Structure 1
């Protein structure tokens, strides 16, 4: 069982969601004086690790990531450094909580399941980012290039410090924070064992990941066909010239909403959060700030992306009118076909 130095002494599941009991007492461990014995070798790594609250360890790592991506991005003027870690950090954080639980002899069934799912999520996201050329040297998110044109240099440096490097790193830390509540719940003998609810939620996560995978694949196939058509002038099998001249995909899952992959991605981390709520028996807990922040990030990011797309493709505004952004509406089953007829 974990010592009182690293985990709070709790008496009920309600206590696992109490910020004043599970986080506040350990904030002093964020100090340099707490890290110094580790850095100087005065304390063995394992001893330091087990004597440090696992949430605080995660925050230490997230701050180190913030500093690293900030320095690297300003050196090479490539502001997509955090994007390269996006598919890895939540899994690292969840895996850390799971490892901590194993090292303290706690029940890890929920954490093990969450870690296994997160690994699948990371593999899928990493592969998708890689095949889009995201790991190529010199690659850069075109959105930041456009933002840079609209703000002075000092303003973009401030944006990089506050949002790109710090807030996004903190967000990735926060969406994994529900795993901390699972860890806390596993210290209590009154915590319910694995149930049908856990099974449904874990399978719901897999379903959302499957939808996201199919949506990304449909986008990839379309964009590959469009690129081949523009290079050779030959319309690939399964498409018409009008399909490819349009410039964006409107069929398959993309006829239900304009961003089915993002809908599924947001659903994943909302479900991860809701899982911690169901285990604790509370409808709301402080880790929900991660899920809310994630939803807000997608709203802002997609708004910028769609403005760029609408300027690039003249028919995109009609597509926006007929098909909802994230949540399928009443016209979801006919949106794409009606769009084609109108065009």
Structure 2
């Protein structure tokens, strides 16, 4: 079977399974739980179908490394345990009527997000259609950039993990954590460095489609574009929650770049130094 058809079948099965699981368990993070796994399957389908074309194998290995890291980070935060639902879904449920949220669950959480997961993987389709061309200098550059962004996201997530462990320990000891949100390390340069590195990896992944064909724009760029738009909405929603919870968050926003790491506008005064 054509690899795209195989991926569409897999995507359809995952979409149905995650939606049904959300209905049965009344937890709505099932797509989050497969987010780091499905792209690995999709890209390897193309790599195998190409008889292990060198570029597609490289792309599959990079996505596998991305997926292993993301799965580990999600697991240690309890995402795979019962009750490990993303806290933002509970906030959103409180703002919507039950029928409206169930429609949102079906159309956005289950169908749209699963479709997006497939789309971000589809530069592999462009590379598959151009299979046979040898790896070149641009492939090496793209692979190095992907790894660099992967390391950056690993560091950001580790800093966030260390901060939340410190915060939990302070709370358990009967103290009020101060500050209440992370402002040091990479989070001194960006309010969401992990978001930046995540998006950057998938734009680099699209770059392999360009390297394979020598053409800058393919329809498979849609995945990277839509992922960035998803992060725009996710960032706005997350920050609205943080602003309501922490009065000092506006000061942090005023001095810190929202996504792209950049020099802060003024010296921050966070009391916590995250372990790197």
Q: Same fold (TM over 0.5)?
A: yes
Task: Answer whether contact 2:22 2:28 (CA < 8 A) is retained.
Answer: yes
Runs of 4+ in 1 over 4 A off after TM superposition: none
> What does residue 55 of structure 2 align with?
110
Q: Does 1:224 align with 2:165?
A: yes
Deviations, residues 44-90 of structure 1 (Å, cap 9, x unaligned):
xxxxxxxx221121111111111111111011111101010011011
3-state DSSP class of the match of 2:267? helix
Deviations, residues 8-57 of structure 1 (Å, cap 9, x unaligned):
xxxxxxxxxxxxxxxxxxxxxxxxxxxxxxxxxxxxxxxxxxxx221121
3-state DSSP class of the match of 2:268? helix
Task: Answer whether contact 1:58 1:93 (CA < 8 A) is retained.
Answer: yes
Q: Does 1:207 align with 2:148?
A: yes
CA distance in 2, matches of 1:176, 1:254: 28
Query: Map of 1:254-273 to 2, 5 A cutoff?
Result: 254-273=187-206
CA distance in 1, matches of 2:32, 2:245: 24
CA distance in 1, matches of 2:136, 2:84: 45
> What does residue 269 of structure 2 align with?
340
Deviations, residues 98-151 of structure 1 (Å, cap 9, x unaligned):
11112xxxx611111111111111111001000101011132111111111111
Q: Which has the larger radius of gyration?
A: 1
CA distance in 2, matches of 1:263, 1:152: 33
> What does residue 46 of structure 2 align with?
97
> What does residue 82 of structure 1 align with?
31
Gaps of 5+ in 2: 271-276
CA distance in 2, matches of 1:280, 1:163: 33
> What does residue 31 of structure 1 align with?
none
> What does residue 250 of structure 2 align with?
317
Q: TM-score, normalised by structure 1?
A: 0.76
CA distance in 1, matches of 2:261, 2:87: 28
Query: Map of 1:11-22 to 2, 5 A cutoff?
Result: none
State the 1:288 CA deviation.
0.7
Task: Answer whether contact 1:318 1:339 (CA < 8 A) is retained.
Answer: no
Q: How many residues align?
A: 270
> What does residue 159 of structure 1 align with?
104
CA distance in 1, matches of 2:212, 2:193: 29
1:248 to 163, 172, 181: 181
What is the RMSD computed on CA atoms of the aligned residues?
Answer: 1.6
> What does residue 136 of structure 1 align with?
81
Q: Does 1:58 align with 2:7?
A: yes
State the 1:324 CA deviation.
1.1
> What does residue 16 of structure 1 align with?
none
CA distance in 2, matches of 1:231, 1:150: 30
Deviations, residues 135-177 of structure 1 (Å, cap 9, x unaligned):
1113211111111111111111111111000000000000000
Gaps of 5+ in 1: 1-51, 235-240
CA distance in 1, matches of 2:84, 2:4: 33
> What does residue 67 of structure 1 align with?
16
Task: Answer whether contact 2:188 2:268 (CA < 8 A) is retained.
Answer: no
> What does residue 292 of structure 1 align with?
225
